[in-house]
Amino acid sequence: MVGARITRMDTNYRESISPVERLAICLRFLATGDSYRTIGFSFRVGRSTVAGIVPSVAQVIWDCLVGEYMPVPKEEAIAAEILERWNFPNCLGSIDGKHVVILAPPCSGSQFYNYKGTYSVVLLAVVDAIYCFRVVDVGAYDKGGDGVTLRDSAFGQALQDGTLEIPPPASLPGAEDLGPVPHVFDGDEAFPLRPNLTRPSL
């Protein structure tokens, strides 16, 4: 799926690195988090070559695979599976934020500094009944917790302004007399309570 877009031309001066190798370098980095230098040694390429390959191949992977592997969720199927497995009706997925600790990038000041005293980027994710990621938003700074990260994310904005295509309210199994009840995402106390975002009561 990505081959054509990560193929580079040979020139008179050098042969290009094959798409297979470019992909391997990128995947090795994503899987191990090893330094570019270490990965450069194992593939016998320079550090700056790795530094060029990793972000560009990662971008191509995202562009080519996102439509098939992580479409914006709207399927009733997720809710049906959560009901079957977890006995929770009208639920479209579980949402949470996770701090991924990083080394502060050069000249980033306190941008990535978080309340736990480390530097991090935030991964905000929605998972389905079997813990598969359905939505991810990576790269936010921690500025006020998961609720703020959600509000500022494309997903959170679509949820808020009603452009996210979620299924219409439906009645709960065994409680049809209550009438239609909204479909929801469920989170923890860090998220605000909304008609379409619920959280455990204490």
Ligand X SMILES: *[C@@H]1O[C@H](CO)[C@@H](O)[C@H](O)[C@H]1NC(C)=O
Give the interface segment with ligand X, choosing from 19-27, 141-149, 172-180, 191-199 (CB under 6 A). Answer: 191-199
Q: Say if residues 200 and 88 touch (Cβ distance below 8 Å).
A: no
Work out whether 126 is an interface residue with ligand X (CB under 6 A).
no
Euclidean distance between CA atoms 142 and 123, whole angstroms: 10
Give the interface segment with ligand X, choosing from 72-80, 131-139, 170-178, 190-198 (CB under 6 A). Answer: 190-198
Work out whether 105 is an interface residue with ligand X (CB under 6 A).
no
Euclidean distance between CA atoms 27 and 42, whole angstroms: 13
Q: At its nearest, how many Å lie between ligand X and the CB of residue 144?
A: 19
Q: Of 49, 56, 118, 196, which lies in the binding site for ligand X, with binding defined by CB under 6 A?
A: 196
Considering CB under 6 A, how many residues would be counted as binding ligand X?
Answer: 8
Which stretches of the chain are DSSP H helices? 19-32, 36-43, 47-69, 76-86, 145-152, 154-161
Give the interface segment with ligand X, choosing from 43-51, 98-106, 127-135, 154-162 (CB under 6 A). Answer: 154-162
Q: Which is nearer to ligand X, 45 or 95 (CB)?
A: 95
Q: Say if residues 151 and 165 touch (Cβ distance below 8 Å).
A: no
Which is nearest to 128 in space by CA: 172, 79, 76, 66? 79
List, as one string, the DSSP characters of 142-170: -SSHHHHHHHHSHHHHHHHHT-S--PPPB
Work out whether 195 is an interface residue with ligand X (CB under 6 A).
yes
Considering only residues 160 to 189 of the shown chain, the ones binding ligand X according to CB under 6 A are 160, 162, 164, 166
Name the site residues for ligand X (rule: CB under 6 A): 159-160, 162, 164, 166, 194-196
